[in-house]
Amino acid sequence: MGMDCQLQSERNKDFILRFHKKLFTDRVPVSGSMELTTRCNFNCVHCYLPESERKGKGQGQELTTKAVLKLIDDMADAGCLNLLFTGGEPLLRNDFSEIYSHSKKKGMIVTVFTNGSTVNDEHIRLFRDLPPFSIEISVYGSSPQTYEKITGVPGSYHHAMAGIDRLHQNGVRIALKTMLMDLNLHELSTMENMARQLGVKFRFDAGITPRLDGDMTPLLRRVPPEDVVALEFQDPKHVQDWKDFWQEQNNKESNERLFVCGAGQTSFHITSTGRLQACIITPNSSCDINNGNFLNGWNEEMIKIRDFKISKEKTCRNCDLISLCGYCPPVFKLETGSQDSCSEFLCRLGHLRHKMIINL
């Protein structure tokens, strides 16, 4: 890289940093996720949604097409640029194409989370005509036995693989990911190889949480922290990413606010019933915007969440390793009953990651 290119790269990096700082300071809701439905054709053992929701208990309360389109208009007017459609399984909505097309025509950068098993010709035409930023597909194993042990649905493996192949063959930009758990740990390398052969990105996440109704059963599927960190630090690129992230975060000033991420500051989540939340797992701090204005909820209700302070007697926020553990008050609330009480699982991850960084 020549000197001029290096200088331009540094200028671009500086601009992006100043741009993000401006968005954060001004509380611009630039990134949002929208749960189009809680219904799902899978019944995964680790899912954070209660089984009754996945089987359609709340279908009658789902936002209408008109309501969803109105919210997309409101979000765009408020400054939302990045929009994620999730579920449940979002492709189960009969009006998905209309909703997706509307968001793209509003100029949004759209990502879709799906299990890939319900992709049809209409979806292919839609994604070819209006390309997404990415279609992120969850895979749960590299064999039918493992895959279907997790999804609980016979035939789900072959339907999902067919969907992945159909999207890839038609030039739709996809990425693969998996929720790492004890049931599929032995197939992680073959899932990575699946993505490598397709020439697409792959990532894994070991952050299994309790269900939103308080059911702790999914936690039984967690992989031990020692195994998670060993896998994270196998890839030299990920090692450097962790080192850079640690140095960057370690230089940030601490404060007394409970939330340190962008939830309620630059990002938000909207449920299938039209409730605005700071993030996907903060149901106890939400407001109904189904019959109101998105911006009012953002400015009047979400800002209150950003004012939450840490309890003085709690020490989690005083820990030097807070940037390495995946610190998340909503997860703490689900797992321990208190937003101030840290998860032992996440805490152990933080200490092990720090040890690896120091040793390296």
In a domain, 196, yes or no: yes
Half-sphere exposure of 307 (CA within 13 A, CB side): 6
Cβ atoms of 167 and 119 closer than 8 Å? yes
DSSP H or E run through 96: helix 96-105
User: Which pTM was predicted?
Assistant: 0.91
Query: What does the CA dihedral 18, 21, 25, 31 come to, rounded to 10 degrees?
Result: 120
How far is the C-alpha of 269 from the C-alpha of 278, rounded, in Å? Answer: 6
In a domain, 199, yes or no: yes
In a domain, 208, yes or no: yes
- With a cut of 70, list the residues of the chain below it in pLDDT: 1-13, 249-255, 283-284, 312-315
How far is the C-alpha of 140 from the C-alpha of 160, rounded, in Å? Answer: 10
- Residue 40 is part of which domain span? 28-223+259-308
pLDDT digits (tens, 9 = 90+) for 58-76: 777 899 999 999 999 999 9
3-class DSSP state for residue 326? coil
Q: What is the pLDDT of residue 310?
A: 74
In a domain, 9, yes or no: no
The count of domains in the chain is 1
In a domain, 56, yes or no: yes
Amino acid at 101: S
Q: What is the pLDDT of residue 3?
A: 47
Q: What is the pLDDT of residue 7?
A: 42
Sheet holding 31-35, edge to edge: 202-205, 174-179, 134-138, 109-114, 82-86, 31-35, 267-270, 275-277, 286-288
In a domain, 5, yes or no: no
How far is the C-alpha of 196 from the C-alpha of 7, rounded, in Å? Answer: 34
Q: What is the pLDDT of residue 6?
A: 47
CATH code at 135?
Answer: 3.20.20.70
Q: What is the pLDDT of residue 253?
A: 61
In a domain, 1, yes or no: no
- Percentage of the chain exceeding pLDDT 90: 67
In a domain, 185, yes or no: yes
Half-sphere exposure of 33 (CA within 13 A, CB side): 18
